Amino acid sequence: MDDLTNFGGTAEERDIRNHFHAYTNARRHMDVGPMIIEEGSGIHVTDNSGRRYIEGMAGLWSVGVGFQERRLIEAATRQMEKLPFYHNFGHKSHGPAIDFAERLIDIAPVPMSKVFFTNSGSEANDTVLKMVWYRSNALGQPDKKKVIARIRGYHGVTIASASLTGLPYNHRSFDLPLDRVLHIGSPHYWREGRPGETEEEFATRCAEELETLILREGPETIAAFWAEPVMGAGGVIVPPTGYFDKIQAVLAKYDILFVADEVICGFGRTGEMFGSTTYGIRPDVMVLSKQITSSYVPFSAIMMNDRFFGPIAEESDRIGTFGHGFTAGGHPVGAAVALENLAIIEERDLVANAREVGAHFRARLEGLKSSPLVGEVRGVGLIAAIELVEDKATKSVATPGRLGTMMNAALLRNGLISRSMTDAAAFCPPLIITRAQADEMFEIVAKSLAELEAEEGV
């Protein structure tokens, strides 16, 4: 057994002995142990040593209304006292699921027909891919089963959703992606644009790449295209000017469905209720999770238009059932919390707060571009990133991930929880953050960057 004497009989020791962590070097964890968070309040969390941090990632891009929101706690408690669980199999339903499905249809950015409930973004994307195949069979198009996603896109970690994800660590040693899932390039203009190429020209080239792939594979074989309005875990990649208009024109030309993954962007993050509104996306399907309940309860939803739903409904009638669902899908406690969460977002105008405070925070981050280590500042609403480089002229680093890891450690040391994605430091605070708190957050970023510059001798 590994030597755990440094941890004594602490929670850290018990974590190392028993807990296999997500997105963690499992062997290294045996040596370094966990950071244990015990409390949260507003935009802050406190660890088990009593140290307080700004939660600059809203947990995992998700705690929109902040920690310890009494209204969500009370909504969950009321529902647990009334109906702690019921399912939606075999024509069963309950009030919270009905109410929340209706609210989602009401606020959808484009006309939608139905809502299907799942428990996470991964489950939702996995389910949509199954539905895409089911629909193609319903339409008598058995060859129309391939789907296209993007390099650096993130859509989850189940076998299907991890295949859609375009990040190498989600594929390596898992025998992924599935062979029906294809990928085109990332829409990262700063990184992928050619010398002298405008944003719009780059967007045109991205759309041409999509069309070339469709024609190579055969349009009759391509069923759907997946995209986040803003790429989250891939590095907070904001689409270039005209990108989604050009992409959607190609999809319409070849009768290909558009699935908008709004797991991070939904419920105000981009300064609109949905990222699809921010970028003029007209999706056939929307995948929603994370801020749907501010992550107080695991919950997710799929919204679909009638073009998508109709053939699926007909096939279920032909077969006798739609043979898919989850025990906790549409859970009454989750639906009740989601309803209250949406009410808070609307009543407190947190979408506008994301837009206004986010613009202020990003304007302050722009001032860091004078640093020899900052290659790009990007973002929209209350989601942003700074890209660290060693050589600004070539936008390069000798060892990918080194600067990002060092910056993340400095931020944590100075009281701000962030997340490094290779060499991008991401920021995605709760939607409730104030202008003054955003300034406090910025000062930590600036201090940490100065420390990194000193370490690097620049």
pLDDT digits (tens, 9 = 90+) for 150-163: 999 999 999 999 99
- 198, 207, 223, 313 from 319: Cα distances, Å: 51, 38, 22, 10
Neighbours of 384 (CB within 10 A): 24
The secondary structure of residue 239, as a DSSP letter, is P
Residue 373 in this model has a pLDDT that exceeds 50? yes
pLDDT: which is higher, 358 or 1 = 358
Structure tokens at 455: 């370490």
Q: Which of 307, 134, 144, 131 is nearest to 220 (CA)?
A: 144
Q: Measure the CA–CA gap between 260 and 226, rounded to whole angstroms.
A: 6
Judged on CB neighbours under 10 Å (0-12, 13-18, 19+), 412 is middle
Residue 21 in this model has a pLDDT that exceeds 50? yes
User: How confident is the model at residue 245, as a pLDDT?
Assistant: 98
Q: What is the mean pLDDT of residues 348-364?
A: 98
CATH 1.10.600.10 fits 71-347, yes or no: no
- 201, 228, 387, 408, 436 from 418: Cα distances, Å: 33, 21, 13, 6, 18
Report the share of the chain in percent with pLDDT over 70. Answer: 98
Angle at 292 between CA 135 and CA 186, to 5 degrees: 65
Report the share of the chain in percent with pLDDT over 90. Answer: 98
User: How confident is the model at residue 1, as a pLDDT?
Assistant: 39
CATH 3.90.1150.10 fits 35-65+349-456, yes or no: yes
Q: How many CA atoms lie within 13 A of 10 on its CB side?
A: 14
User: How confident is the model at residue 4, as a pLDDT?
Assistant: 47
Q: How many helices (H) and strands (E) does the chain have?
A: 16, 15
Residue 247 in this model has a pLDDT that exceeds 60? yes
Q: Measure the CA–CA gap between 228 and 288, rounded to whole angstroms.
A: 11
Residue 8 in this model has a pLDDT that exceeds 70? no
User: Which residue type, as a one-letter code, is found at position 76?
Assistant: A
- 24, 351, 385, 420 from 409: Cα distances, Å: 15, 30, 16, 9
DSSP lists the bridge partners of residue 422 as: none
Find out whether 339 and 100 touch, Cβ atoms under 8 Å: yes
Domain boundaries, given as residue ranges, for the chain:
35-65+349-456, 71-347
Q: Measure the CA–CA gap between 55 and 67, rounded to whole angstroms.
A: 10
Q: What is the mean pLDDT of residues 327-337?
A: 98
Find out whether 257 and 224 touch, Cβ atoms under 8 Å: yes
Task: Provide CB contacts within 8 A for 162, sequence distance 6+.
Answer: 122, 155, 156, 170, 171, 174, 176, 177
Residue 5 in this model has a pLDDT that exceeds 60? no
Q: Which helix (H) or strand (E) holds 449?
A: helix 435-456
Q: Measure the CA–CA gap between 335 and 310, rounded to whole angstroms.
A: 25
The pLDDT-based confidence of 419 (bands split at 50, 70, 90) is very high
